[in-house]
Amino acid sequence: MKIMAELFNPKTEEKILEFWKRERVFEKSLKLRQPASKFIFYEGPPSANGRPGIHHVLSRVYKDIICRYKTMTGFYVGRKAGWDTHGLPVELQVEKELGLKNKKEIEKYGVGKFNQKAQETVWRYKEEWDKLTERIGFWLDLKNPYITYEPHYIESVWQIIARIWKQNLLYEDFKVVPYCARCGTALSSHEVAQGYENVLENSVYLKFKLKNSKNTFILSWTTTPWTLPGNVALAVGRDIKYDFVKVNNETLILAQNLKKDVLEEFSQKVLKTVSGKDLIGLNYESLFDIRQLKNDKSYKIYPAGFVNTEEGTGIVHIAPMYGVDDFNLGNFAGLSKIHTVNLEGKFIEDFGAGLKNLAVKSQRAENLIIQHLKNSGNLLRVKKYQHDYPFCWRCASPLLYYAKTSWFIRMEKLKKKLVANNRKINWVPSHIKNGRFGEWLKEVKDWAFSRERYWGTPLPIWRCKDCLASPDPAKRGGAQIAVGSLSAFDELSPKKLNKYIFLRHGEAENNRQKIVSSYPEKKKYPLTIKGAKEIEKLIPWFKKKNIDLIFSSDLLRTKETAQIIAGALNKKITYDKQLREHDFGAYNGRTHEDWHSLFTILIISHANPIIAAASAYQGYKNEETFNLGKKYTIDGITGSILEITGHNWPYNNEGNLDLHRPYVDELPLKCGKCGESMKRVKEVIDVWFDSGAMPFAQFHYPFNKKLEYPADFISEGVDQTRGWFYTLHAVGALMGKGPAYKNVISLGHILDEKGEKMSKSKGNIIDPWEVIDKYGIDALRWYFFTINPPGEPKHFSIRDVEDKLRRFVLTLSNVLIFYKTYSKVSKSDFYNYYRSWTSMALLDQWILSRLHQTIKETRKNLEKYEVTQAARPIDEFIDDLSRWWLRRSRDRFSGKELNAVSAVLKNVIEELSKLIAPFTPFLAEYLWHNAGNKESVHLEDYPKANTKYINVKLEEQMAAVRNTAAKGLALRAEAGIKVRQPLQKFQIPNPKSQTKPKAQIPNELLELIKDEVNIKEIIFGDKFELDTKITAELREEGLIRDLARQIQGMRKDGGLTPKDAIMVYIKGGADLKKIVSKLQKTLISEVGAKKIEFVGVVKDGLLIDRHFKMENEDVWIGIRH
């Protein structure tokens, strides 16, 4: 690959992309490591129904760096892409596009059509995802992804669910769950955790009048006024102290230590104090007159352990259908379980307050409830209250805690295992292990598993209603089953299954002549004599098979084949256009739909349609179809046969295997107890289970024995601690496995520069393409790796990206350009110089020591998955290389040290290329190729530190040198003397007086101070002191240096190389002419001039010329090449 040593830019990256694709470098890097140990990586599946954003770039480059690093250290790192295709996000998008408002409208539209639209929608932005993934250098197998809606993926998920069912960990129950009325479905606790928002809303202080008392009220408090019609009890703490307080003409009861906050607006007098146990059993009057809620248990005071005095009144209002604690107390006390709110989140009646059909969280409903309480004398006060409230993670509607029937997984039973497995995981950042994730596991709740939706993995539970209602416990025990495989559908089929025999036609003239012939037939090719005999030989075999029906393609060669067999078997032939050579796979579904009793069906067709039809019928993907064709060699042999037993499987209207609703809903199974039909429950499962099951389902385990578990590494955003990180962990435990992953990098959120969340409404969203097109991906990658540790939020700043581009990417690019411009190196120079390591210049020994120390630090931190700590030493090394070694070595590139110093720089560039390859893969390739290498740097091994080169003492000495030089430059700045002006003396503290003997500076390094500070001699004393006296000779030397700088700048602007000799013309005063004449040899040497000539007038026809001032005098310089 030829990548010019131009200044690195986004176009350079695009050329490198072309090289990678053309040379199949990613594939080569995998093949190179195939015999090696595996490093297992899981790709968290995104959904392609939304555009990728800047946060996706962050997560993908963090995945990429570790995978690249492990590949270069000798591991085989498979990187299978994945797509998360189910769930509410997709459904809501389809609803919006179709103009559907609720589930009733979806069902009216048609579940099959709705799901088909959903399947199409999930690929809307796939091309954009693929393009961005490629552009950012994230090497991923995009050609063979796992897709969560595919039949075999779902079959693996079902197998896991069946296993959970057998362990009695999956159960159906009626209890309170987080519920989205807009989406019409329950949510899991990990979904709820992703949707909390801090809100300011009304809280209500209520007065419940005690029965058989005169103006005595017990006070309660709620932040959910909509639950008040459902109130049937009050709860107190048995040992909490309660005061009876006189306020105006009423006696109010509330917790003693909350009295001040609650009654701050009222004059008050404490009448008496009691314990909560003294209030138990008292009756009170209901707030709303709802007959269905009344029984002998209702409207009483009960004790409860969850009551506290942190806020409120110390008395909790109980609505059993709308709170977990409420529901549990209701079970304990036998309270009424009647809903006042329907599944659409609306009140079912007026309840004397005009509430019917109002959304419970609407402002109108709240206002009516408060007005009702005022009118009835039950309202004490309304107070604004700020708190976290859960909203639907996808549609943003407020959630309700709502009692309903749902399916659950007993995660609480696995708590110990979940916590124990977490101890074995390396978390980056480490605090998440026992913090955000660990605390979550300690409080783990049973998984609300089912969803009353459409586009998702169907819950594979079939039930027999008759057996479920039977008084016989044995029948009830087998009334429900979990189906864990497609083969189970066949085993439980209510009817016997068809047998299909696919026959490829006998040899035809086009086969003999090796001519491709398909519909429409340009020329009709009959069977050859050989082909007819091939088919005739099969007739005895077909007679034994008891063929019932014969179908055939209507092309001549298949017609003749069918006629030979049909004549012998005395059967009628049905010709079907769909079996033609060009119409692949359309027939399989029809046979299933049209015949469900036992038939043996002969289908005569061509090689490709037979393979495609058989494959589609069994739900195979393209790769599996190809393997099926190889297995049965249909394509190579005329007259060949493929036998398939029919299936009791669900197929969609196109004849494809489809395990989604409504097709799976329509599939009856035979009850093992009574023999009658079993029907599937209507729910689908939590979409997060799909992605959590990917370690098993991505390769169709256990039907395919391949299993890569656990992952060595995963990475996603910090929100996935309650999402994919958790579900992977949970499914692993449910499968009886250890941790699903060994190492995880949890990434902080990307915020805007002010620290605010990015959103379209705020107009602060960053388009990744704009950043990449302007600055290149490697600048953005380096920014993400170095701006702060991965777990911290990133306040995204374009200025910081520009800074990384300038200080890292372009600095290295300029180092390379310098190397290409000035270096001269051969292999012999390289090896000879390195063999004499100890006789190297100390400056070279130092840069190699720094290089290998950096390699050591970077490897150490990458092994710990500490990416930022691995990158920062590289940043420091680049500074050392460019701002010290290269600056102090410039003169060496034009003298006798040229070969040696070139060899050092070449070695540094090559090792650095390999070192940064996982971080900035494009920049690494650019450096590597321009250093003279042909193959990709990504096929190299990652560099190892050679301790021979590490010299800690020298590094300390050089640090002292640089520190001393910096102080000298600071003294120059204080004196207002530019660095180009030589000075005579610089006094530094005597080395013998230094406290660190190792840091004493050798004479060779003292020369570096002299060059850097531009002084003639160093003297030792007690302090730092700079001789600022400028003699005539020093002034003249300074003027020559100024002239040289101007001429060198002009050479560069004129596009000249160091080898280009020039003529220099100068027009200036007599003093300048005198100085130049005196020091002409020095100036000629420094600027690469053949001759310097003073002129009286400005000359024309030059390459470049320039006017400027020196010591307030006008000077003109011209250059001719």
Residues with catalytic roles: 45, 84, 688, 720, 724, 757, 760
Phi-psi region at 465: left, alpha or beta (left = phi > 0; alpha = psi -120 to 50): alpha
d(CA 907, CA 584): 58
Provide φ and ψ at 1094, rounded to 5°: -85, 135
d(CA 369, CA 360): 10
DSSP state of 860: H
Reduce the DSSP state of residue 788 to 3 states and report it: coil
Query: How large is the greatest C-alpha to C-alpha distance in the chain, in angstroms?
Result: 122
Supply the DSSP string of 73-137, one letter for each residue: TT-B---EEEE---SHHHHHHHHHHHT--SHHHHHHH-HHHHHHHHHHHTTTTHHHHHHHHHHTT
Residue environment code for 959-982, b if the CB has 16+ CB neighbours within 10 A, otherwise e: ebbbebbebbeebbeeeebeeebb
Reduce the DSSP state of residue 440 to 3 states and report it: helix
Structural tokens at position 960: 């002292």
Distances (CA, A) of 657 to 649, 660, 668: 7, 9, 16
Q: How many CB atoms lie within 10 A of CB 941?
A: 11
d(CA 920, CA 915): 9
453, amino acid identity: R
Question: Is there a binding annotation on residue 760?
Answer: yes
Helix axes 151-166, 724-734, angle to 10 degrees: 60
Q: How many CB atoms lie within 10 A of CB 636?
A: 11
Structural tokens at position 447: 């998984």
* Radius of gyration, CA atoms only, the chain: 40
User: Of 1045, 972, 974, which is closest to residue 1015 (Cα–Cα)?
Assistant: 972
Distances (CA, A) of 710 to 158, 556, 694, 845, 866: 20, 55, 11, 44, 20
Beta-carbon contacts of 134 under 8 Å, excluding residues fewer than 6 positions away, are 17, 142
Long-range Cβ contacts of 964-972 (<8 Å, 24+ apart):
964/988, 964/1001, 964/1009, 964/1024, 965/1008, 965/1009, 965/1012, 965/1013, 967/1024, 968/1009, 968/1012, 968/1013, 968/1015, 968/1024, 968/1026, 969/1012, 969/1013, 971/1024, 971/1025, 971/1026, 972/1013, 972/1026
Q: Give binding residues as ranges.
A: 760
Q: Give binding residues for ATP as ranges.
A: 760
